[in-house]
Amino acid sequence: MFHYTVDTNKTMDEAVQALEAELKNDKFGVLWDFDVKATLNNKGLDFDKPVRILEVCNPSEAKKVLEKNELVSYFLPCKIVVHESDGMTKIGMPKPTKLIEFVEDQELNQIAEDIEQRMINAINEAK
Protein backbone atom coordinates (compact mmCIF):
# COMPACT_ATOMS: atom_id res chain seq x y z
CA MET A 1 0.00 0.00 0.00
CA PHE A 2 1.13 3.54 -0.71
CA HIS A 3 -0.35 4.88 2.53
CA TYR A 4 -0.57 4.30 6.26
CA THR A 5 -3.97 5.08 7.83
CA VAL A 6 -5.43 4.50 11.30
CA ASP A 7 -8.79 5.14 12.95
CA THR A 8 -9.15 7.20 16.11
CA ASN A 9 -11.98 7.94 18.49
CA LYS A 10 -10.77 11.54 18.74
CA THR A 11 -12.45 14.44 17.00
CA MET A 12 -10.59 15.97 14.10
CA ASP A 13 -9.44 18.91 16.23
CA GLU A 14 -8.26 16.59 19.01
CA ALA A 15 -6.41 14.41 16.49
CA VAL A 16 -4.68 17.42 14.92
CA GLN A 17 -3.64 18.76 18.33
CA ALA A 18 -2.31 15.35 19.38
CA LEU A 19 -0.42 14.99 16.10
CA GLU A 20 1.19 18.40 16.45
CA ALA A 21 2.40 17.49 19.95
CA GLU A 22 3.72 14.07 18.94
CA LEU A 23 5.46 15.39 15.84
CA LYS A 24 7.09 18.16 17.86
CA ASN A 25 8.63 15.51 20.13
CA ASP A 26 10.58 14.27 17.09
CA LYS A 27 11.47 17.73 15.78
CA PHE A 28 8.79 17.77 13.08
CA GLY A 29 6.78 20.94 12.77
CA VAL A 30 3.45 21.61 11.12
CA LEU A 31 4.12 24.20 8.44
CA TRP A 32 0.55 24.43 7.26
CA ASP A 33 -2.83 23.14 8.38
CA PHE A 34 -5.02 23.21 5.27
CA ASP A 35 -8.72 22.91 6.08
CA VAL A 36 -10.07 21.70 2.72
CA LYS A 37 -13.76 21.94 3.64
CA ALA A 38 -13.50 25.51 4.94
CA THR A 39 -11.40 26.65 1.99
CA LEU A 40 -13.74 25.20 -0.62
CA ASN A 41 -16.82 26.52 1.20
CA ASN A 42 -15.20 30.00 1.34
CA LYS A 43 -14.74 29.79 -2.44
CA GLY A 44 -18.47 29.20 -2.85
CA LEU A 45 -18.19 25.46 -3.43
CA ASP A 46 -20.43 23.09 -1.52
CA PHE A 47 -18.12 20.53 0.10
CA ASP A 48 -19.25 18.84 3.30
CA LYS A 49 -16.52 16.27 3.97
CA PRO A 50 -14.15 17.34 6.77
CA VAL A 51 -10.55 17.04 5.54
CA ARG A 52 -7.42 18.66 6.97
CA ILE A 53 -4.05 18.29 5.31
CA LEU A 54 -1.05 18.94 7.54
CA GLU A 55 2.21 19.71 5.81
CA VAL A 56 4.99 18.64 8.16
CA CYS A 57 8.74 18.96 8.07
CA ASN A 58 11.83 18.10 10.05
CA PRO A 59 14.33 20.73 8.83
CA SER A 60 17.42 18.59 9.49
CA GLU A 61 15.99 15.66 7.55
CA ALA A 62 14.84 17.91 4.72
CA LYS A 63 18.31 19.42 4.41
CA LYS A 64 19.91 15.97 4.41
CA VAL A 65 17.76 14.55 1.61
CA LEU A 66 17.80 17.72 -0.49
CA GLU A 67 21.60 17.83 -0.40
CA LYS A 68 21.60 14.25 -1.68
CA ASN A 69 19.09 14.76 -4.50
CA GLU A 70 17.09 17.86 -5.45
CA LEU A 71 14.28 15.73 -6.91
CA VAL A 72 13.22 14.90 -3.36
CA SER A 73 11.85 18.45 -3.18
CA TYR A 74 8.92 17.17 -5.26
CA PHE A 75 7.78 15.17 -2.21
CA LEU A 76 8.36 17.82 0.45
CA PRO A 77 6.97 18.72 2.83
CA CYS A 78 5.52 15.45 4.07
CA LYS A 79 1.76 15.27 4.43
CA ILE A 80 -0.47 13.85 7.12
CA VAL A 81 -4.22 13.93 6.50
CA VAL A 82 -6.94 13.92 9.13
CA HIS A 83 -10.41 13.29 7.76
CA GLU A 84 -13.79 11.85 8.60
CA SER A 85 -15.13 8.80 6.82
CA ASP A 86 -18.13 6.66 7.76
CA GLY A 87 -18.49 8.48 11.08
CA MET A 88 -14.89 7.81 12.10
CA THR A 89 -11.89 10.14 12.28
CA LYS A 90 -8.93 8.81 10.31
CA ILE A 91 -5.28 9.83 10.33
CA GLY A 92 -3.10 8.87 7.39
CA MET A 93 -0.17 9.69 5.21
CA PRO A 94 1.44 8.67 1.95
CA LYS A 95 4.44 6.51 2.83
CA PRO A 96 7.76 8.31 2.23
CA THR A 97 9.30 4.97 1.23
CA LYS A 98 6.84 4.63 -1.65
CA LEU A 99 7.44 8.17 -2.89
CA ILE A 100 11.23 7.98 -2.64
CA GLU A 101 11.32 4.83 -4.80
CA PHE A 102 10.93 7.09 -7.82
CA VAL A 103 14.34 8.65 -7.13
CA GLU A 104 16.11 5.24 -7.27
CA ASP A 105 18.74 5.85 -4.59
CA GLN A 106 19.36 3.25 -1.89
CA GLU A 107 20.77 5.73 0.60
CA LEU A 108 17.65 7.88 0.28
CA ASN A 109 15.50 4.77 0.69
CA GLN A 110 17.10 4.16 4.08
CA ILE A 111 16.52 7.76 5.17
CA ALA A 112 12.90 7.55 4.00
CA GLU A 113 12.41 4.35 6.02
CA ASP A 114 13.57 6.12 9.16
CA ILE A 115 11.37 9.18 8.54
CA GLU A 116 8.38 6.98 7.73
CA GLN A 117 8.74 5.00 10.94
CA ARG A 118 9.03 8.15 13.01
CA MET A 119 5.90 9.61 11.41
CA ILE A 120 4.01 6.32 11.89
CA ASN A 121 5.04 6.37 15.55
CA ALA A 122 3.70 9.92 15.90
CA ILE A 123 0.41 8.93 14.24
CA ASN A 124 0.07 5.88 16.48
CA GLU A 125 0.78 7.90 19.62
CA ALA A 126 -1.66 10.62 18.53
CA LYS A 127 -4.54 8.24 17.86
Report pLDDT digits (tens) over 47-69.
999 999 999 999 999 999 999 99
pTM: predicted TM-score of the whole model, two decimal places? 0.93
In percent, the amount of the chain with pLDDT more than 70 equals 100
Q: Which tens digit of pLDDT belongs to each residue from 17-55?
A: 999 999 999 999 999 999 999 999 999 999 999 999 999
Query: Which candidate, 33, 94, 96, 92, places its Cα nearest to that of 62?
Result: 96
Query: Which candidate, 28, 16, 26, 52, places its Cα nearest to that of 127?
Result: 16
